Structure 1
Amino acid sequence: MSKFDWNHALAFWTTVEEGSLSAAARKLGLTQPTLSRQVAALEQSLGVTLFERLGKSLMLTEAGLDLIEHVRAMGAAAETVRLAASGQTQSIEGRVTISASDGFAAYVLPDIVHRIREAAPQITLEIVASNAFSDLRRREADIAIRHVRPDQPDLIGRLIKESEAHLYAAQSWVEQNGMPRHPADLARAGFIGLGGGARLAGHLQSRGLPVTEASFILASENSVVVWEMVKRGLGISFQMHEIAARTPGIVRLLPQIEPFPVPIWLVTHRELRTSRRIRTVFDLLAEALILTPQAALRDGADQSRTSP
């Protein structure tokens, strides 16, 4: 076997990750013929075929499947070396990318970002608002706010606190429909769901609510859209306390119902914490997230004297 060339392995790895030669070439800043030659050179040096070419599509062969895991490990090791080296030379200036769910990014992060900007104005913040997990290992984000514990060995997570989700409606909805006193009072109420109604109905039934899939009169995959519809009195939904407490005109319903636990984790790549700017933002995020929202949220007990 001839001398191993990392550039050839990188061309192979990127092609697998991007799904096509053209996309991989764009990512690496190469022409497609150059990238193809590098992949072919790797195949020749190893004496194996890595891809089956089916028309315009590529499919990994058995040899390719075996090799890609080793190449991924090599790439992760190379990235670890780069991050460790850059972390020792980086100043506190620069860009830090924070990933969070769309609702958390829209309603909670702006206040926190303001605090971070006051404490570290030289750092540029980029917010990735997505309900899908950002891949921290591929640097889609530097820090992620998640509601589940990370399970990848090269990620570290810090449980900031255990939050809760409760049932909420707009004050205008209460004025029109009355304040519910018991779960049975919501048998004919309209709910607004994040995603499909069947799964959410099961969660609500576990809390003793007489809810079926038909109870969900509105739904969206975007939690900002769901919450905006709740704010306009179009229905009822569960929401995190941190978001509801920042929303004027929102009432907590049936406070006797057991809330849903919502853990808040801060997650980053293990090696990224050697970067001063990322460590600074991580610590400022943790400090801000621990604080209880200052806004007081009225619940059903408070509303009993004024509700129709």
Structure 2
Amino acid sequence: MNWQAISFDWNQVRAFLATVEEGSFSAAARALGQTQPTVGRQVAALEEALGVILFERVGKSLTLSGTGAELLDHVRDMANVASRISLVASGQSQNIEGLVRITAADVMSAYLLPPVLEKIRAVAPRLKIDVVASNEIRDIQRREADIAIRHVRPTQPDLIAKLVTEATAHFYGASAYLDRVGRPTDLAGLAALDFVSLGSVDQMIGYLEPAGVPVRPENFRIGSANGIVAWEMVRQGFGIVPMMDEVGAMTPGVEQMLPDMEPFKFPVWLATHSELHTARRIRLVFDLLAEHFGRSAQK
């Protein structure tokens, strides 16, 4: 094979890599923000350009071919180099304008980010902010976000991470719901109430049982992986849930339960790539986020 004569589009390589990592054309399309036919055409075009078969197609399933497996490490090296180039280029920008992507959990994105976004708009009105509301940890090194707000300390290399506050949470329920079922006076009493699950019921039970809350799967009759939807279910009286105190305090119609209990505590970390942090727009947003969450914790 004459590799020097081969020419292909980088988008085709990205489509191939995303298909391998996500497991299908449809999943790769979602990850890339494209349509499934577009991803399929890009992979087919790459196969044609290279003169090889990258995937064995059996029905609707895809299996990486031997040649595809051999090329995979090289493609990943190319992706890492491309990401590094993008990071360095972004880091050299000294203009307080352009796009900054902030990723945070959906509840934090909806309820806690807007006040600091107002501050950012006032300080740098030419900035554009894209809030990536997701409960999944986004990869800053792949430029899925410029700044991440997380509740676990980031461990990826080349990241700058800052612990900005330790948030607290209590149990909350709608006042109308508690008027109907009663207000328990201790953790044991919570076992008689309905809970709204935030994501996996097993994970919630695994979190609550060690804290002394005797819940069972039967307590969870409704829930959602989307935190905003789950919180709205609580507000409308479907049950109770542990929630950040800042969010509980700003939501009409709900009340904090067991106010004398020791609150749940969890850290709030900011993270960005070391190369990105040299860009004025990234550093400005990072510092304003740190200042805002630090002050909120002191109120």
Which ranges of structure 1 fall in alignment gaps of 5 or more residues? 296-308
Question: Which residue in 2 is equivalent to 1:246?
Answer: 250
For residues 33 and 107 of structure 1, what CA distance do their matches in structure 2 show? 40
Q: 1:280 aligns with which of 252, 275, 284?
A: 284
C-alpha root-mean-square deviation of aligned residues, in Å?
Answer: 3.2
TM-score (norm 2): 0.81
Question: Which residue in 1 is equivalent to 2:193?
Answer: 189
Q: CA 1:185–1:98 in 2, change beyond 3 Å: closer, same or farther?
A: same
Q: Is 1:16 paired with 2:24?
A: no
- The percentage of aligned residue pairs carrying the same residue is 43
Question: Which residue in 2 is equivalent to 1:42?
Answer: 50
For residues 104 and 137 of structure 2, what CA distance do their matches in structure 1 show? 8
For residues 38 and 238 of structure 1, what CA distance do their matches in structure 2 show? 49
- Pairing 1:1-308 to 2, within 5 Å after superposition: 2-4=2-4, 8=8, 10=10, 11-18=12-19, 19-20=24-25, 36=44, 38-42=46-50, 50-54=54-58, 58-292=62-296
Q: CA 1:9–1:95 in 2, change beyond 3 Å: closer, same or farther?
A: closer
Partner SS, residue 267 of structure 1: strand
Letter in 2 for 1:42: L
For residues 288 and 241 of structure 2, what CA distance do their matches in structure 1 show? 31
1:109 deviates by 1.0
For residues 37 and 187 of structure 1, what CA distance do their matches in structure 2 show? 58
Q: What's the CA shift string for 1:184-225, capped at 9, x where partnerless? A: 322321211112433323322222223211112321221112
Q: What's the CA shift string for 1:149-194, capped at 9, x where partnerless? A: 2232243322222222221123333433343222232232121111
1:240–1:262: 8 Å Cα contact kept in structure 2?
A: no
Letter in 2 for 1:16: L
TM-score (norm 1): 0.79
Q: CA 1:143–1:31 in 2, change beyond 3 Å: closer, same or farther?
A: closer
Q: CA 1:64–1:233 in 2, change beyond 3 Å: closer, same or farther?
A: same
For residues 210 and 111 of structure 1, what CA distance do their matches in structure 2 show? 37
For residues 57 and 168 of structure 1, what CA distance do their matches in structure 2 show? 45
1:13 deviates by 4.4
Letter in 2 for 1:212: R
1:92 deviates by 0.9
Letter in 2 for 1:151: T
Structure 1 window deviating more from structure 2 (98-107 vs 155-164): it is: 155-164
Which ranges of structure 2 fall in alignment gaps of 5 or more residues? none
Letter in 1 for 2:134: S
1:41 deviates by 4.1
For residues 115 and 155 of structure 1, what CA distance do their matches in structure 2 show? 25
1:281 deviates by 0.9
Partner SS, residue 134 of structure 1: coil
Structure 1 window deviating more from structure 2 (49-58 vs 146-155): it is: 49-58
Q: CA 1:154–1:40 in 2, change beyond 3 Å: closer, same or farther?
A: farther
Letter in 2 for 1:166: H
For residues 135 and 156 of structure 1, what CA distance do their matches in structure 2 show? 13
Letter in 2 for 1:218: I
1:15 deviates by 1.8
1:84–1:274: 8 Å Cα contact kept in structure 2?
A: no
1:66 deviates by 3.8
Q: CA 1:5–1:180 in 2, change beyond 3 Å: closer, same or farther?
A: farther
Q: CA 1:206–1:257 in 2, change beyond 3 Å: closer, same or farther?
A: farther
- Aligned residue pairs total 288
